[in-house]
Amino acid sequence: MTATSDREQMAYISSQAADARVNVELDTGDMTLNIGPQHPATHGTLRIACQLDGEQVIRAEPMMGYMHRGYEKLCEVRTYPQCTTLINRIDWLGSFANEVPFILAAERLMEVEAPPRAQWIRTILFELSRVANLALFLGDMGVQIGALTPVFFAFRDRERVLNQIEEVTGGRFHPNFDRIGGLKDDIPKGWIEETRSVMVKMRTFCDEMEDLLVGNEIFQARCRGVGVIPPEVALGYGLSGANLRASGVDWDLRRDANPGLAWDQIEWRVWTHPDGDSFARYWVRLQETREATHMVDQLLDGLPSGPIMAKVPRIIKVPAGEAYVSTENPLGEMGYYVVSKGDLGPFRVKIRTPSFNNISIVPWVMKGVYVPDVITILGSLYFILGDIDR
C-alpha cells in the first residue's frame, strides 16, 4: 500500500495494531512485586505485596506487623502517667498531639479539668506538632515523585519548630509533657517571641512549597486524578483528617467535637478540596499547615495567665467508667477508648489511630493503578508506621 497522506498512513498503522491485539494472545502472567518493607514511601517498615498484570496493579495487600509493639497490652500493666511515655511513640512525628486525647480521656473519667492556661499551652503545642509533622510531609511528597530539594527545605525548617517544642518540653520527639490535670511546666521566658518568628519562617516555607511543587507541571501530572477517593467510600473506610477533607467532606474534630481545648476561642477555617485525588490531599495539608501557623499566632496573643496544674492527688486513681475521646491529630482522628476499674492504671485501652484506617483503603484505591502511582498514592495518604502498628 502506498500512503497518499500522513493520515492514511496513520490509519493503516493503527488498524494493523488493532489486528495484532486481537490475533496475538500474549501470555502475560501475573507478577508479584513487593514494595517495602524498606522503602522511602513507607515511613518505616510497611510491605505492600502488589500483584501486577504488566504495569497495572490488580491487587495490593499491605502486610503489617513489622513494628507491632503491643501498646494496648502494655498500657494495661502501667499506671496512667506511665502510659503517656508509650503513647508518645505511636505517631512519632507529632508526639505531643498523641498524649492529649489520652490525658483528656483520663481527665473526663476523673472529672478534672485543666486550668485555662494549661489548655491554651496544650493547644499551642498541639498545633506546633501539627506544623512539624505536616512540614515533613510537604517536603517528603516531593521525594516520592523525584524532586529532592523540597525535603531538604522541610528538614531544615521543621527543625525550627522542633527546637521550640524542645525548649518547652525538653524533648524533640518524645515530650512526655502532658499531665492529668495540666502540664508539667510553664513555658520559658522569651519563648513567645521566638515562636512568633518561627511561625513567620514556616509561612515562608509553605510559600516555597507552593512555588516548588503545587505550581509544578510534573507534580500536577503525577498527582492530579491519581488515587481518587469519593467521599462515601472515604467515610465507610473511616478515613479521617486531611484525607477525608480532600474528598470534600467538611469535618474537623477541632471545630465539630472540641473536647475542651482552646480551638473554639480563635478564628480559623477548615480547608477542603472537592477532587479527592493525591493532589487534593497535598493541597489540603499545605493549607492546614499555613492555617496552623496562624492559629499559633492567635493562641500566643490570647494566652491567659493563671496556674498550669489543677489540684490532683499525687497517686492518680481513675474512677471506674468508660470514655472515648478523640482529637484531630496531624494524621487524622486519634482516639482512646479507656476502660477504668478504679485502679492505678487502665483496665483496657483501645487506641484508634488514624493511619490504621487511612491505610486500610489501600487495597481498594490501588486496584487498577500503575506502578509509579502506587508510590504517589502511598505518599499522599501519609501514614506513620508506628501509627498503624501501635
Partner 1 sequence: MTDETPPEENVDVDEKREALITSFSEILGEDLVESQLRPNEDLWLRVRSESWQDSIRAVQSAGFEYFGFLSAIDWEIAPEGRYEDTEFDGGLDEEDDEPVEVDSSTGYAGGESRFQILAQFYSLSQQVGVILKTDVGEDMTIDTIRDIFPGADWHERETYEMFGISFRGHPTLQPLYLPTEFEGHPLRKDFPLLARQVKPWPGVVDIEEIPEHLEAQLEAEVMAAFEANGGAS
Residue 268 or 324 with smaller CB distance to partner 1 = 324
Looking at the Cβ atoms of 196 and 348, the one nearer to partner 1 is 348
Please count the other Cβ atoms lying within 10 Å of the Cβ belonging to residue 13: 11
Q: Is residue 58 within the footprint of partner 1 (CB under 8 A)?
A: no
Q: Is 341 in the site for partner 1 (CB under 8 A)?
A: yes
Cα distance between residue 382 and residue 390, in whole Å? 16
Of the pair 208, 343, the CB lying nearest partner 1 is at 343
Q: Is 196 in the site for partner 1 (CB under 8 A)?
A: no
The yes or no reply on residue 357 touching partner 1 (CB under 8 A) is yes
Residue 195 within binding range of partner 1, rule CB under 8 A: no
Site string for partner 1, 99-118 (x = CB under 8 A): ---------x--------x-
33 bridge partner residues: 50
* Counts of helices then strands in the chain (DSSP H, E): 16, 8
Closest to 173 measured CA to CA, from 184, 158, 183: 158
CA atoms of 150 and 213, how far apart (whole Å): 8
314 scored as a contact of partner 1 (CB under 8 A): yes
- Of 287, 325, 334, 268, the residue nearest 131 (C-alpha): 287
Residue that is written with C-alpha cell 492529668 in the block: 180
Please state, in angstroms and rounded to a whole number, the distance separating the CA atoms of residues 321 and 260: 19
Q: Is 256 in the site for partner 1 (CB under 8 A)?
A: yes
Q: Does 274 bind partner 1 (CB under 8 A)?
A: no
Binding segment for partner 1 (CB under 8 A), chosen from 5-13, 150-158, 173-181, 234-242, is 234-242
How many angstroms separate the CA atoms of 143 and 148, rounded? 5
Decide whether 173 or 251 has the Cβ nearer to partner 1: 251
Q: Point out which span in 61-69, 153-161, 194-202, 277-285 binds partner 1 (CB under 8 A).
A: 61-69
The letter for the amino acid at 273 is H
Rg (CA), the chain: 24
Interface residues with partner 1 (CB under 8 A) are: 64-65, 68, 70, 72-74, 76-79, 82, 108, 117, 186-189, 232-233, 235-239, 249, 251, 256-257, 305-307, 314-315, 320-324, 326, 333, 335, 337, 339, 341-345, 348, 350, 352, 356-357, 360-361, 364, 389
